[in-house]
């Protein structure tokens, strides 16, 4: 069963705008990770946030984690057309080292 | 630069054929994973391995088997391919041990079974 669920399923914005994607999960986790996938390619790791962290930044990316609500958000600021891709959250549960992926959010950034 | 490679980007096979998908990583990672990705279903874990000759079933192992004879290589085998195994197959690897580790993915193999 899917642990993470992303919201929205699809998002279309203009270049320069911010994009926010959300992820909810069900069980206790060690960490939550965000990945990006360009069409027809493999996934690329973006950022990892541990269960004892609340916020993390990497360049134009900002990730928050609320373990009480079992949710995370990924914010991409000042989006570019090259940010067009699918974005997946993945959770590592406390019971093991495997990741469980959500279904992804398809982001389209229009030039 | 870390690298995970998969033997084919595109593969077309007939129903009933035995299919081998190969994955090689050059990062000396202990863990290796096979996923399939289908529209609307996201990534689903088929099998993973945390050491040579070790394997664990994922969420959807039926119809698949795996082999890990060397640390750098993890093979996915479809014993008798069926049309419902048409999918994108993704291999990944990661370090093991204490701490949180990201997974590194290969480019994927798009398999079509006719």
Cβ density class B27-47: b for 16+ within 10 Å, e for less: eebbbbbbbbbeeeebbbbbb
Chain B nearest CA to A25, separation (Å):
14
- CB distance B42–A2 less than 8 Å? yes
User: Which chain B residues are within 8 Å of A35, Cβ to Cβ?
Assistant: 105
Which residues are CB-contacts of A15 (< 8 A; sequence separation ≥ 6)?
A: A79, A80, A81, A109, A110, A111
Answer whether A90's CB lies under 8 Å from A44's CB: no
Contact of B54 with chain A, judged by CB distance below 8 Å, is answered with no
Contact of B90 with chain A, judged by CB distance below 8 Å, is answered with yes
- As a whole number of angstroms, the distance between CA B83 and CA B88 comes to 13
Nearest-CB residue to B105 (from A43, A50, A100) = A43
Closest among A91, A89, A83, A94 to A105, alpha carbons compared: A89
Residue A94: the pLDDT is 75
For chain B, the three-class secondary structure string (H helix, E strand, C coil) is CCCEEECCCEEEECCCCCEEEEEEECCCCCEEEEEEEECCCEEEEEEEECCCCCCEECCCCCCEEEEEEECCEEEEEECCCCHHHCEEEEEEEECCCCCCCCCEECCCEEEEEC
- CB distance B48–A98 less than 8 Å? yes
Enter the tokens of residue A59: 């360049």
pLDDT tens, B14-71?
Answer: 999 999 999 999 999 999 999 999 988 889 999 999 999 999 999 999 999 999 999 9
Comparing alpha-carbon positions, the chain B residue that sits nearest to A48 is: B102
Comparing alpha-carbon positions, the chain A residue that sits nearest to B98 is: A97
Answer whether A35's CB lies under 8 Å from A23's CB: no
Closest among B70, B41, B38 to A1, alpha carbons compared: B41
What phi, psi does B84 have (nearest 5°)?
A: -75, 0
pLDDT in tens, chain A (111 residues): 446 678 899 999 999 999 999 999 998 899 999 999 999 889 999 999 999 999 999 999 999 999 999 999 999 999 999 999 999 999 988 766 688 998 999 999 999
* Cα-based distances in Å from A10 to A15, A84, A95, B72: 16, 11, 31, 36
Residue A1: the pLDDT is 40
């Amino acid at each position: 069963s899917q642990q993470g669920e992303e919201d929205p399923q699809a998002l279309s914005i203009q270049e320069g705008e911010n994009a926010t994607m959300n992820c909810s999960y069900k069980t206790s986790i060690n960490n939550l990770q965000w990945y990006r996938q360009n069409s027809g390619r493999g996934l690329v790791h973006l950022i990892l946030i541990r269960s004892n962290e609340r916020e993390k930044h990497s360049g134009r990316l900002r990730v928050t984690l609320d373990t009480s609500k079992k949710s995370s958000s990924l914010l991409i600021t000042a989006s570019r057309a090259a940010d067009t891709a699918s974005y997946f959250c993945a959770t590592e549960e406390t019971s093991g080292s495997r990741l469980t992926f959500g279904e992804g959010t398809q982001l389209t950034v229009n030039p | 630069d870390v690298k995970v490679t998969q033997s084919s980007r595109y593969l077309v096979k007939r129903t009933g054929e035995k299919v081998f998908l190969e994955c090689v990583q050059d990062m000396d990672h202990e863990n290796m994973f096979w996923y399939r990705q289908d529209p609307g279903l996201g990534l689903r874990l088929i099998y993973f391995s945390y050491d040579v000759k070790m394997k664990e079933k994922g969420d959807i192992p039926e119809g698949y088997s795996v082999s890990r004879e060397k640390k750098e290589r993890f093979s996915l085998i479809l014993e008798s391919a069926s049309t419902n195994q048409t999918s994108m197959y993704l291999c990944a690897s990661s370090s093991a041990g204490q701490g949180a580790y990201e997974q590194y993915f290969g480019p994927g193999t798009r398999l079509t079974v006719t």
